Amino acid sequence: MNGTIIKLILPHILAIVLAGSADTKAVAQTGQDAESTKKEVLQIEQKFTEALLANDIRALASLSAADFIYVGTDAEILTKTGRLAQLQSKLVRYEALQQDDLHVIVYDDTVVVSGRSTSTLQIGGKGSWGPGGVSHLINPGRLSGNALFTHAYAKLNGRWQMILEHVTYITED
């Protein structure tokens, strides 16, 4: 699909996912059920991080919905197939990944997890990452940096699956 078209429709897709439908108002859930859902999704989030670090393509495929979308730090937009191919080719390989400052919001059968990540990656021997190609090279091809991320999950066929991964590079001031 044309990247420009995806960039134009992605905000609308997110609005629909988060709102649930045009006839209902999305209201964050609270209480015991919401807390239970948060714990369940955070366990999946941990499995996702472990799978990225292990480059476990099978686990990542299982944790991601069929219509998963990835929006990366250099504005690339990949489908599930594209993202898994990118990781399987080891064009992008995670060496370290730590998440903190997590915020989890539950909306019925949709959960949004956002936070900050610190990672070290190997990027296909290239030293460009982030806005304007700003790189944080430890040595050629190895990059370390900080990002803000958003992961959206939907409950599909009785289980939580990631439907969106969005990562935005940040600089330290």
How much is the pLDDT for 21? 45
CB 170 within 8 A of CB 73: no
* The amino acid at 172: E
How much is the pLDDT for 12? 46
Render pLDDT for 56-77 as a digit per residue (tens, 0 to 9). 999 999 999 999 999 987 778 9
DSSP code of residue 24: S
Q: Which residues fall within 8 angstroms of residue 82, CB to CB, at 6 or more apart? A: 70
How much is the pLDDT for 9? 52
Burial class (CB in 10 A: 0-12, 13-18, 19+), 114: middle
How much is the pLDDT for 56? 97
* 158 has a pLDDT exceeding 70: yes
The residue with greater pLDDT, 49 or 7, is 49
- Assign residue 37 the CATH number of its domain: 3.10.450.50
Q: Which residues fall within 8 angstroms of residue 99, CB to CB, at 6 or more apart? A: 45, 49, 115, 116, 117, 149
What value does the mean pLDDT of the chain take? 80
* 126 has a pLDDT exceeding 70: no
Range ranked top by mean pLDDT from 7-16, 86-95, 110-119: 110-119
Using pLDDT thresholds of 50, 70 and 90, give the confidence band for residue 125. Answer: low
Range of the domain at 49: 3-19+27-170
* 114 has a pLDDT exceeding 80: yes
Provide, rounded to the nearest whole percent, the portion of the chain with pLDDT above 90. Answer: 50
| Structural domains in the chain (count) | 1
